[in-house]
Amino acid sequence: MNPAITPTTRPNAADLLAAHGVRATGARLSVLTCLLHAPQAMSHLELQQALPEMDRVTLYRALDCLSLAGIAHKIAGDDRVFRYGTAEARAHEPQHYSHSHFKCTRCKRVFCLDDSQQASALHQQLQASVAHALLSGFQTHDIELNIKGWCAACVN
């Protein structure tokens, strides 16, 4: 179980790229730094607005590279817009990836829940439940949990 990532323990972009064996280009460093400091997952458009000096194709390529390397994750939204967030929670065990999100149905923001102890416990319960229900011969690699509702800002 990974400890919660706080601003003081958050790895920097160059360290994450190096740890995953990914060449640190300017675009990758910029995109990853932006994702690391974002309070929630960001769409391509939001990243483009945050990084106006980067053209959209370079941004897509950087996001694809980060996703393929397991540094970022790509989240399909109900609005058919992909959003991207960092995958720090799975950096040490990519074979057993579990991830959960809260999707606000009003403002469409997506919040990652993996830094919480409760999310980790829930994923362990789901893993045990799947193992019990399917009996032997099955092995899960990914568990994705999407919770929908209204975020605190939209409730108020």
Residue 155 has pLDDT above 90, yes or no: yes
- What integer is the mean pLDDT of 11-38? 92
> pLDDT per residue over 105-146, tens digit each?
899 888 877 666 776 777 778 778 877 777 667 777 677 778
Tokens standing for residue 47: 């990243």
CA-CA distance, 81 to 47, in Å (whole number)? 13
Q: Under CATH, which number does the domain 13-155 receive?
A: 1.10.10.10
* Predicted local confidence at residue 98, as pLDDT: 59
Q: What is the pTM of this model?
A: 0.62
Structure confidence at residue 20 as a pLDDT band (50, 70, 90): very high
> pLDDT per residue over 38-70, tens digit each?
888 899 999 999 999 999 999 999 999 999 998
CA-CA distance, 123 to 129, in Å (whole number)? 10
Instruction: Sketch the domain layout of the chain as residue ranges.
Output: 13-155
Strands (E), 70-141: 72-76, 82-86, 97-104, 110-112
Structure confidence at residue 1 as a pLDDT band (50, 70, 90): very low
